[in-house]
Amino acid sequence: MQIQRLFTFLAGVFVFGLIALPVQGAAEAELKGPDGKTIVRYVVEAPENIAAAGTKDPAKQVGLILCSAEHDRPTGDEILPVREALQRLGLSDQYVLIAGHSQAQKFSAADDAPLEKLLQWAMKTYPVNPRRVYMYGKGEGGKISAEFTMLHPNLVTAGISYSWGWWRMPAELKDAIDPVKSAPEFYMVLGLRDLSYHLTTVRDAYQRTTAKGYHVIFREFEDLGARTYHPPSNDDAIAWATRLRNKNLPLSAEEKVLLTKTQVNAAGYMGNLALVGGAPAGVVIQKLLESPDAVVRAAAAQTCGYAIFSEATMEALGGHLTDPAAKVRRAALRALALNANWRSEAAQKALVEFAIHPEKAVDENDRVSATDGIAWAARYQVAGVRQDPALFGALVTLLGDKNEELRTMAANILAPIRDRGFRGDLGRPELKEPTGGWQPWLERVRAKAADYRNDYQVCGKETGEAVALYCKGGEYLTGKNGTPDPVQAFRHTLQAAEMGYLPAKAMLGMLYAIGKGVAQSYPEAAKWWSQAAEGGHLLAAQSLSMIYRGGAGVKADPALSEKWAKFVKEHTAAE
C-alpha cells in the first residue's frame, strides 16, 4: 500500500533502539542562589559521556527539554513520556531533560523567574545549543509550558502542552506577533478520556491561541486519558519539536560554517544542514534544489524530512513534484508529507494542488504518493479537530477521480466521517457520504476552522458604516492589504462594536482576551462577550461560558457558565 512508503521513510527517521540512554530516576535537587536560598527544586537527566559545558561544535551540543508536571505530582513526573519518545526516535543521546517544581501548588507567573534561572543554569552546566530549547508539560505544567514559551520567545523554541489550557499572553500594543519569522510554535494534545472540564478548557485555550495568531498543532485522541504517556502523540510531538530551531537567535560562528558543508551522509541527506535547521539553512536548501545535479537535488529534498526549515523552503520543494528525476520527486513527496502532517501550509498546498490536477503529474504513481501524503497529514484530524479544511476538500475531490487507487484511498480515510459507527454485522448498508452530502459538510468544516473570523464573510456583501468599520478592522487584523496592525484592528473593531454591530462585539471580546491591539483584560472580554451572547452569537456565548468557569481574572459564576453552555448546546446543530 502507498501509506507504507511513508512508513518506510519514517523508519529511517524514527529509530527504535537504545542509544546512549540518559541516567534515569535522578534524585530531586535544589538550585540555590548566592544567598543560599532555594530558587527552585529540580530533577535532571542527561546523556552519559556528553561533551563539556561550553562546547561550540554543533555536532557535540545537545538540546534541552524542560518537562513540567501537573499540580500535586512529583517534580520529574513528565520526564518519562519525553524520555521514552526520544529513545524510540533514536535521539536519547542528544537531549538533556530537566524538570522544575512549581513555587506553590500550581504553576503561575511566580514561576517565570525561577524557571528562567533553571534554564540558564542548565545551559551553563551542559553543552546546550540555545536554538534547541523546548518545553513539555501536563495540566498546570502544560499551562506554564505554553505561557512561558509565549513570554520568552528568545529562550524557548516551542511548547508542547497536554490536558489543560492557559490565559497569560503577551500584549500586542504595537507590532503583531509574526508566526512565520519570530513567534514560537505550539503542539496541544487533548485526551478524550480526560476530565470533562479539561476537555472544554483545552479547546477554549486552543481557540484563543489560534485567534492570537500562533501556529498550533492540535490533536485529540479517543484513547488518551489524564496521563501523557501516549506513544502516538509523544512521538509525533517530540519529532516535530526537535526539528525546530529558535527563530530569534542568530547562528553561532560554528553553525555558519556548517552551512558551507553540504556533504551527503550515508543516509542520503545533508546532516549538517539538518543540524543547523531553521530558515538560514532553508535558504541553502533552496539553492541546492536548483542544482543541475539530480543527486544533489534529491539529497536536498530528503534533508527536508530531517529538519523544519521554512515555508519558503516547502514552497520551493513543492516545485520539484514535476522534477525530471524520479528520485527527486520521490524524496520531495516524502518530505512534503511529513511537513504537511505538522501543518505546513505550503507543503499541504503543494500536495493538494498536485493530487487533484492529474495533468501535472510526470508519473501517475506520483499522484498516488501525493494522495498518500494528504492521507498521512489528515489521519489525526479525521476523528479530531479538522484544522486544515484544504486536506479534506482534496480528499472529497479525489472521491470522483478517474484513478481507482486514489478513490479507494480517499474513501478509506473519509470512512469515519461518512459512517463512523458502521460495522459489517449491523445488518445495514454503509453510508457513502455524511448527512446532507459532502459539500455542506465541507462548508461546516471550513466555518468551524475559521472560528470567529468566519464572520468576516459579510465583507463585500453587506453595507453600512458599522460593517465597513468591522471589515476594515479585519483587514488590519489579518494583514490583508499589508502588514497586520493590531492597534488599528482593535480601534476599528471597537468603533463597530460601540455602534452595536454584533460580530464586532464578539470579536472585540476576543481581542481583549488575547491582548491584540490592547492590554489583555478578561473582565473587558467578558463584558463584550456578554453583549454578543445576549444577541445570539454562539461563539461569544461559548467563550463567555468558559470565562465564568474562573481562572482568568474573572470571578467564577457557575450559574452563568452553565446558562451559556446550555445555550450553545441548544443552538448547535449536531454534525
**Contact assessment for residue 490 and residue 456, using Cβ atoms and an 8 Å cutoff:** no
CATH code of the domain made up of 253-418: 1.25.10.10
Give the model's confidence band at 1: pLDDT under 50 very low, under 70 low, under 90 confident, else very high. Answer: very low
Contacts of 502 (CB under 8 A, 6+ apart): 532, 535, 536, 537
CB 275 within 8 A of CB 59: yes
Please check whether residue 147 is in contact with residue 159, taking contact to mean a CB–CB distance below 8 angstroms: no
Report the share of the chain in percent with pLDDT over 70: 95
Q: To 10 degrees, the CA torsion angle through 294, 297, 298, 302?
A: 180
Rounded CA gap, 140 and 230, in Å? 18
Q: Is the CB of residue 263 less than 8 Å from the CB of residue 59?
A: no
186-245 pLDDT tens trace: 999 999 999 999 999 999 999 999 999 999 999 999 999 989 999 999 999 999 999 999
Please report the pLDDT score of residue 550 as a whole number: 84
User: In whole angstroms, what is the distance from residue 455 CA to residue 504 CA?
Assistant: 9
Q: Which residues contact 345 (CB under 8 A, 6 or more apart)?
A: 311
**pLDDT tens by residue, 19-51:** 445 556 679 999 999 999 999 999 999 999 999
In terms of DSSP bridges, do strands 95-100 and 38-45 run parallel, antiparallel, or are they unpaired?
A: antiparallel
- State how far the alpha carbon of 539 is from the alpha carbons of 93, 149, 255, 267, 506, in Å: 46, 27, 47, 49, 8
Q: What per-residue confidence (pLDDT) applies to 553?
A: 82
Q: What is the DSSP string of 140-200?
A: HHHHHHHHHHHH-TTT-SEEEEES--------BSSSPP-TTTT--EEEEEEETTS-HHHHH
Are 546 and 207 in contact by the 8 Å Cβ rule? The answer is no
CB 204 within 8 Å of CB 190? no
Cβ atoms of 165 and 202 within 8 Å: the answer is yes
The region, left, alpha or beta by phi > 0 then psi within -120 to 50, assigned to residue 406 is: alpha
Amino acid (one-letter) located at 450: A
Is there a contact between 407 and 401 (Cβ–Cβ < 8 Å)?
Answer: yes
Question: CB within 8 A of 14, min separation 6: which ones?
Answer: 88, 89, 90, 235, 239
Name residue, grid cell 498516488: 368
Q: How would you class 316 by CB atoms within 10 Å of its CB: exposed for 0-12, middle for 13-18, buried for 19 or more?
A: buried
- pLDDT, residue 304, reads 99
Question: What letters, b where the CB count within 10 A reaches 16 and e where it falls short, cover 50-70?
Answer: beeeebeebeebbbbbbbbbb
The DSSP secondary structure of 40-72, one letter per residue, reads EEEEEE-BTTPPPTT---TTT-EEEEEEEPPTT
Query: For cell 535532571, what's the residue?
Result: 44
225 contacts 29 by C-beta, under 8 angstroms:
no
Compute the mean pLDDT over every residue in the chain, rounded to the nearest whole number.
Answer: 95
Q: What is the side-by-side order of every strand in the sheet holding 29-32? A: 29-32, 38-45, 95-100, 62-68, 128-138, 158-162, 185-191, 216-221
Residue 4 has pLDDT above 90, yes or no: no
Residue type at 31? L
Mean pLDDT, range 368-373, rounded to an integer: 98
Angle at 325 between CA 322 and CA 330, to 5 degrees: 70
297-309 pLDDT, tens digit per residue, is 999 999 999 999 9
Strand partners, 108: none
pLDDT of residue 15: 45
Instruction: Tell me the pTM.
Output: 0.95
Query: What pLDDT does 5 receive?
Result: 46
Q: Where are the domains of the chain?
A: 3-241, 253-418, 459-571
- Nearest CA among 446, 458, 504 for reference residue 477: 504
Calculate the CA 527 to chain-centre distance: 30
- In the numeric block, which cell numbers belong to residue 52? 563539556
Residue 147 has pLDDT above 50, yes or no: yes
Q: What is the pLDDT of residues 93-120, one digit of tens each?
A: 999 999 999 999 999 999 999 999 999 9
> What average pLDDT score do residues 88-94 get?
98
CATH number listed for the domain at residues 3-241? 3.40.50.1820
Query: How many whole angstroms separate alpha carbon 51 and alpha carbon 57?
Result: 9
DSSP bridge partners of 371: none
Give me the residues paired with residue 220 across strands: 190
Element (H, E) at 486: helix 486-498
Three-state DSSP class for residue 426: coil
Digit-coded pLDDT (tens) for 41-82: 999 999 999 999 999 999 999 999 999 999 999 999 999 999
Under the banding of pLDDT at 50, 70 and 90, the label for residue 89 is: very high
- Positive or negative CA dihedral for 160, 162, 165, 166? negative
Confidence category of residue 345, pLDDT binned at 50, 70, 90? very high
Residues in a beta bridge with 133: 64
| Model pLDDT, residue 22 | 56
Instruction: Count CB-CB contacts under 10 A for residue 209.
Output: 22
Thinking of the domain 459-571, which architecture would CATH place it in? Alpha Horseshoe (1.25)
Query: Quick check: helix, strand or coil at residue 387?
Result: coil
Q: What is the 3-state secondary structure (H, E, C) of 296-346?
A: HHHHHHHHCCCCCCCHHHHHHHHHHHHCCCHHHHHHHHHHHHHHHHCCCHH
Mean pLDDT, to the nearest integer, of 473-489?
95
Topology alike, domains 3-241 and 253-418: no
Distance CA(206)–CA(382), nearest Å, equals 18
- Rounded CA-CA distance 491/473 in Å is 7
Quick one: pLDDT at residue 77?
97
Mean pLDDT, residues 559-567: 97
Q: With cut-offs at 50, 70 and 90, classify the pLDDT of residue 324.
A: very high
With cut-offs at 50, 70 and 90, classify the pLDDT of residue 398.
very high
- Give the model's pLDDT for residue 8: 43
Looking up cell 552551512 gives: 259
Q: Report yes or no: 469 and 492 within 8 Å, Cβ to Cβ.
A: yes
User: Residue 516 has what DSSP assignment?
Assistant: B
Closest by alpha carbon to 5, among 330, 413, 378, 347? 330
Instruction: Say how far apart CA 234 and CA 525 lie, in whole Å.
Output: 34
Q: What angle do CA 279, 281, 287 make, to 5 degrees?
A: 105
What percent of the chain stands above pLDDT 90?
93
